[in-house]
Structure 1
Amino acid sequence: MKSIPITSIEGFQIGQAQDLEGGTGVTVIINKDGATGAVDVRGGGPATRETDLLDPKNMVQKIHSVVLSGGSAFGLESSSGVVRYLKEKGVGFGMKDIIVPIVCQASLFDLSVGSSDAYPDREMGYLAAQNSEQNVFESGCKGAGTGASVGKLMGFEHSMKTGIGSAAFQIGPLKVGAIAAVNACGDIYEPDSKIRVAGIYDRETKTEIDTEQAVLQMATQAMEGMNTTICCVITNADLDQAMLTKLAGMSQNALARTIRPVHTPNDGDTVFAMTSNQVPADLTLVSVMAIQALSEAIVDAAKSATPMFGLESWSSLHQA
């Protein structure tokens, strides 16, 4: 299995746009031919669009874009810009002489970073869709990861900056990749290890605090509800929607391997999956590759982030 750029998976184009001053942004994954789509939502506080449509028993099997954004519920507006872009390109679900682009979305809460009035709007969504024509992806404080942070359990002043990340792998003609914008309640760890990457940080004492231990110590206190990890797995594997739904669910194992705690009532953890259905492949193999890719994408989102808005990051604490 070899590592490949996320942008090398044929049929998909990725674009990003952000407001660095306001601290928010949007990342768009587009398949103009229509990709089989699925979703698995585990967090207790999601902000999403068109997830019910992805139930295999419903009519639409193909989608044209997944949008990951900041802005919480306000940020859901950005997908309307993506819809407009796709309509102008003649991309969508055909109903007689009408074309309706199918765009799904999940948003994370970044309103406590930068400006609380800043969120991805239709114009930013349209710009990200336009930028996808260059098919360039940057990890770190870009796109949906612009305002992402972790470690907010003890207040924003104890959080650390994270962002968006990616990873992708190839075996023969089979390609599987993942993108993750990490704004989790829990700490970020290297997969299946005790190596902590980001979480609660006390700037006064310059010490890192374990979130799970903090939860136990704060048993009688209210928990902050500003957390979500939103992801998209993309592949060229030939899977039907039911199989792809299983893939999205199994890919949540990556969150369990890298985020502690995860899927809390305060999280909106959501994993989308999209496939261009080009390469026959075993679902178990694709799932193992997806879990590996998403695990690395989550760590990449933390390690690629830079200090912003007064928050330290892994890069500022662990690199000379």
Structure 2
Amino acid sequence: MSGAGKSTVLDALEDMGWDCVDNLPTALLEHFVHGEREARQTIPVAVGMDVRSRGFDPWDLPALLRSIEGVRPEILYLDCAGSELVRRYDETRRRHPLAPDRPPEDGIARERDITAPLRRLADAVIDTTDLTPAELREELLRRYGGDVDQPVLTVTSFGFARGISRSADLVFDLRFVANPHWVDDLRPLTGQDQSVRDYCAEDPAWNPMMEQIESLLIGLIPRYWAAGKSYLTVAFGCTGGRHRSVAAAVEMAERLRGAGFSPNVRHRDLATPPSDTIEEQPAKSRGAGE
């Protein structure tokens, strides 16, 4: 999607040593790839394309890539929520390529429809709605900075009040756990702080829940890898995304490392300020100050 971060991705890959080119006409794609193979066969190549690229056809592109002899292609599709794309176009004062004389919403809707088949056939999709440019670069470094054959496991936290995690493959809802937000001393802290983690662990359901999820993941993750899935994101959600979900993500990452996995950890809403407005009131108090 135009505005979803293609330039940021190409810049990041170039910094990692990739040969990158943007808006290459599809008629030149095979010639370019073969030329790079003959010159430096060990250098990976990234080609950025969108609806502005000459000859761009989302129906034919996957077959064209597979027809190039001697290469192993991968399609990475960059997606983004329409409202965020509109904000980005307003912020940069650029016009959408498919709506030069109309509101950007019209171009975004048309582009989403045009590229839908390419999204369905993509090997990987990154939704950049909630990612800063720095976070997008970190995600690319995790995926492409080392051995691209190594599956990537990410454990993330988020707040339901700000929308469910868009990148999640598995989601666990922790809103049934007693909320540290309503403890005055814990409200300004986060699930990364030991006192918050200790408070969550006092809930009778916490340890059995974490053990069951750990057992489930240890059994499922290898099955995902065996099925050819290269990226797996396990998400924990609470109301605000600052306490319970963060504590669970931190603890589960530790448990998975102990089981031999190497998860990345990301907290989507950790930097957002605490808010009584979005947090649910506790059903009953567990102690003074709640």
Q: TM-score, normalised by structure 2?
A: 0.24
Q: RCO higher in 1 or 2 (8 Å CA, sep ≥ 6)?
A: 1
Greater share of helix? 2
Q: TM-score, normalised by structure 1?
A: 0.23
